[in-house]
Chain A
Amino acid sequence: MQKLLKKLKEKNLLMTHVVIGYPSLTETIKIITTMAESGVDIIELQMPFSDPIADGPVIMKANEIALKNGTTTKDCMKIMKDLSCIVKIPLLFMGYFNTIFNYGIEKFCKDAFKAGCQGLIIPDMPIEEEEQEKFYHYCEKYNLAPILVIAPSTPNDRLKKLAKFAKAFVYCVARKGVTGEKTDFQKDFQKYINNVKKYLKIPLAVGFGILEKKQVEFVHKHAQIAVVGSVLIKEYEKNKLMGIENLIKKLKK
C-alpha cells in the first residue's frame, strides 16, 4: 500500500483502467507501460469476469474477449508481478468478488501483495458480508488497500459505516448507471462530493463516464483523482498505443 499512499500526496491525479488480456496479454503489457510513460498516476487492472454487472458495453465486451483469449487469474497475478517491477506508479486490481472467492480470499490477497499490487477495487463485495468473507481482514493483513465504492444515493449512515473500512482513497461513482456512458456533471455533484468529504477524510477518486479534458479539470476541482476507463478502450480500438499516448497527454496537460 506504501507506493499508493506516497502517490496520494500529489495533487490532480489521473487513474486509468485496463482489462487484463484485452486484446491480448502481450498488448495489455504494452498498454500499461504506454500509460505509465504518458504520465498516468495510478492504473486499475481489471481481472476479466463472465458476469461484470457494473460494467457497460465497452468494458463488458473487453471482458468477453479477454476470457475468450483464455486469460486466467494466474495470468493476472503474473502480469501484476512483471509490471510492478517495470512501472513506478501504483497498480491496483479491479474485479468481481467471485474471481477472488474462487481463488481463495486469503491466498489471493497474499499473492496480490507478493506481486506488488497496492489495492483492490471489488464493487460487489459490500462491508455487510465481511463477517462471512473476512475480505477486509485479509486486505489489511497483506497490506492491500480495499478501495470502497460510493454512489450518489449512498445515505449518510452508510457513509459513516463505510468510512471505517475505507483505506487510501474512495472511489465515487459520478452518477447512476454502468461504466462508459458520458456523465453530465450537474450542480448537485458538488453537493454530493462535499457530503462524502464530511464522512470520509481520505482522498476521493471520481469515475464513470469521464471522456474528455474538460471533465477531468472539473473533477480535479473537487477530488484528487479523476478516473478514465471505457474511453481509453475505444481510443485503443481506433488508434492503438499511439491513440492512448495522445489522449493521456491531452488529459494530463
Chain B
Amino acid sequence: MYSLPYKNGHYGQFGGRYVPEILMPSLIELEKAFNKYKKDKKFLKDLDDLYKNYSGRPTPLYFCENLTKKLGGAKIFIKNEGLNHTGAHKINHCLGQILLAKRMGKKRVIAETGAGQHGVATASVAAKFGLKCTIYMGARDVARQRPNVFWMEQVGATVVPVYDGNQTLKDAVNSAMRDYIADPESHFLLGSALGPVPYPEMNTFFQAIIGREVKKQCREIYNIHPDYLVACVGGGSNAIGLFYEFLDDKSVNLIGVEAGGAGKRNAIRFKGGKYGVIEGYKSYFLQDENGNTLPTHSISAGLDYPGIGPGHAYLKETGRVKYVSATDKEVLKAFQLLAKNEGIISALESAHAVAYAIKLAPKLAKNKNIIVNLSGRGDKDLFIITEALGDKKFYEFLKSKV
C-alpha cells in the first residue's frame, strides 16, 4: 500500500514491538503464523465462510434518505457493521484471530475490552471454537457497560474487572498483557489496530473487509463514488478497516473522528497527545511531561483510551486522513437524530462518526456521497443513554425491578 507503507513492523517511525523479552517468542511465533495463513487459501476460505454464515456478512450499505433530505446536502450512507453477529465490527478480527489461534494449537485466549464489544465478540468465538477465555475490563467500564459483561459470562468467558489506574480500556490492556506474560502459551486476542507487532497489521488485514464491501456496494448497488468516508477512532480498528481499501485513491476523502468528550476532559490524541512508546507500540499518546499516560474521558467506553493505532499516527502525519472530533453532547444529538429519522440505534462510539457527517453534509453539494461507518449497534448503551437523556420511565422501570 503506497499510502501506508509497512516495513519491519513500522509505519514510518510508528509501530514496533516494545515488549518484555518474555513475550518476544510468542509474538514472533504469532507474526510468522499470520504471515503464513494470510496467504493460505484454505484459511481464507474458512474465514470467508465464517464472515458469511456466522457473522452475517456482507453488512448492508444503507442510504439514509430521510436524514439526507433533512440536512439538505450530500447523500449520507451508512455501512451498518452493527448488524454483525455480536453487534459490532469487532467480530471481524476476532474470527480471523481465533482461526489463527486454532491453527496454532492454542487452548486459551486472553483479551481486553472497553465498551465490551470486543469482549463479547472474543467470548463468542472462543465459545464456538472451544477455547477457554478470560476478558479484562476496567471496573468503570464494567459499571457502565454491564449488559455486555452479562453476555460475555453467558457464553462462558471469565470477566475480570480491573481496578488499576483510570479503570478503563488502557488499564484492561495492561492487565491482559500481564496475564499474557504469565501465560505466553495462550493467545492474546488484542482488539484493535494497535499494540505490538503483529497486531496493528493483522487486525487491519482482518478489518479491511469493511472497505472492500463498501467499494463493491457503491459500485454495484448505488453506482456512486464514495467522496467521503467517516469513521470513529478509538484504537482505530473500524476506521482503518473502512479506509484501507481506499488509501491509494485520492479522490476519496478519509475522516477519522476522535472522542471530544466534555471540555478539557476528552480523548483527542491528535490534539493533546505527543509521541510515546506505551503498551508495546510507538504512536501518539495523551501523556504528561514525564511520559505517564493521562486520564481520558468519553461518553463512549470504546473511545476512552489515551493511545491510537500506529497506522493512524502515520496517516495523520502524511495528511492522507483528516482527524476531527465530536463532543459528548454532539454525539447524543446525532444518536437521537439517526434513531428518529432512520430507525437505527447506533452505538455511542459510532455516533461520533454520525455527528461529524451531520455537520459535513449540509456544507457539500447534493451530488456528493458520504459513507459513515456505523461500527456497532447501541443496545449495549441502554443504561448510559437513558441516564444521559434523563429518561424517568426507564428509571421507574429499574426501580421496580430491584
Interface residues of A (CB under 8 A from B): 48-51, 53-54, 56, 60, 64, 67, 72-73, 97-99, 101-103, 123-126, 128-129, 132, 148-151, 153-155, 158, 162, 173, 176-178
Cα–Cα distance between A97 and B26 once the two chains are bound (Å): 21
Interface pair B20/A123, CB less than 8 Å apart: yes
Is the CB–CB distance between B178 and A176 below 8 Å? no
- A51 near B17: Cβ-Cβ < 8 Å: no
Quick one: which of B19-34 are within 8 Å of A by CB?
19-22, 24-26
A158 to B17 alpha-carbon distance, docked (Å)? 15
* Complex: A77 Cα to B132 Cα, angstroms: 45
Shortest CB-to-CB span from A24 to chain B, Å, is 17
B66: Cβ under 8 A from any A Cβ: no
CA distance A100 to B181 in the complex (A): 23
Residues of A within 8 A of B156 (CB): none
Residue from B182, B184, B282, B293 in contact with A50 in the complex, judged by beta carbons closer than 8 Å: B293
Residues of B in contact, count (CB < 8 Å): 37
- Main SS of the interface on chain B? mixed
Cβ-defined contact, B181 with A54, below 8 A: yes
Question: In whole angstroms, how far apart are the Cα atoms of A107 and B19 in the complex?
Answer: 23
**Interface membership of B278, Cβ < 8 A:** yes
Show 27 residue pairs from A and B whose CB-CB distance is below 8 angstroms, ordered by the A residue.
A49-B291, A51-B174, A73-B290, A98-B277, A98-B287, A98-B291, A99-B290, A99-B291, A102-B276, A102-B291, A123-B21, A124-B19, A124-B20, A125-B18, A126-B21, A128-B17, A129-B16, A129-B18, A149-B20, A154-B25, A158-B24, A173-B22, A176-B181, A176-B183, A176-B184, A177-B178, A178-B178
Is A126 a contact of B17 with CB atoms below 8 Å?
yes
Q: Is B303 an interface residue (CB 8 A)?
A: no
Are B165 and A132 in contact (CB-based, < 8 A)? no
Assess whether A49 is in contact with B292, with CB atoms less than 8 Å apart.
yes
Taking CB atoms, residues of chain A closer than 8 Å to B21 are 123, 126, 148-151, 154, 162, 173
Q: B22, A51: Cβ atoms under 8 Å?
A: no
Minimum C-beta distance from A15 to chain B (A): 18
> Which B residues are in CB contact (< 8 Å) with A54?
20, 22, 181
Q: Indicate if the CB atoms of A153 and B18 lie closer than 8 Å.
A: no
Output the nearest chain B residue to A70 by Cβ-Cβ distance.
B290
Among candidates A99, A149, A177, residue contacting B182 with C-beta atoms closer than 8 Å = A177
Alpha-carbon distance between A54 and B180 when the two chains are bound, in angstroms = 10
Contact status of A102 and B290, CB under 8 A, knowing A51-B279, A53-B178, A53-B181: yes
Contacts of A132 in B (CB 8 A): 10, 13, 16, 282
A51 vs B290: C-alpha distance when bound (angstroms) = 12
Using Cβ atoms and an 8 Å threshold, which residues of chain A touch B177? Answer: 53
Confirm or deny: B164 has a beta carbon within 8 angstroms of a beta carbon on chain A: yes
B118 within 8 A of A: no
Taken together as a complex, chains A and B put the C-alpha atoms of A154 and B280 apart, in Å, by: 18
List of A residues within 8 angstroms of B22 by Cβ? 54, 151, 153, 173, 176
- Do B16 and A101 touch (CB < 8 A)? no
> Contact at B164–A64, with CB atoms within 8 Å?
yes
B residues 226-251 with Cβ under 8 Å of A? none
B18/A97 in contact, CB under 8 A? yes
CA distance in complex: A149, B20 (Å): 8
Query: Is B170 interfacial (CB 8 A cutoff)?
Result: yes
Q: Which 3 A-B pairs have the closest CB atoms?
A: A102-B291, A50-B292, A177-B182
CB-contacts of B162-219 with A (<8 A): 164-165, 170, 174, 177-178, 181-184
What is the bound-complex CA distance between A176 and B181, given in angstroms?
6
A101 to B290, CA, bound (A): 10
**A51-B174, A99-B290, A101-B277 known; A126-B24 Cβ under 8 A:** yes
Chain B 278-305 residues near chain A, CB threshold 8 A: 278-280, 282, 285, 287, 289-293
What's the nearest-Cβ distance from chain A to residue B306, in Å? 9
Q: Are A51 and B277 in contact (CB under 8 A)?
A: no
By CB atoms of chain B within 10 A, which of A98, A154, A155 has the most? A98
B19 contacts A126, C-beta separation under 8 Å: yes
Within the assembled complex, what's the spacing in Å between the Cα atoms of A54 and B177? 8
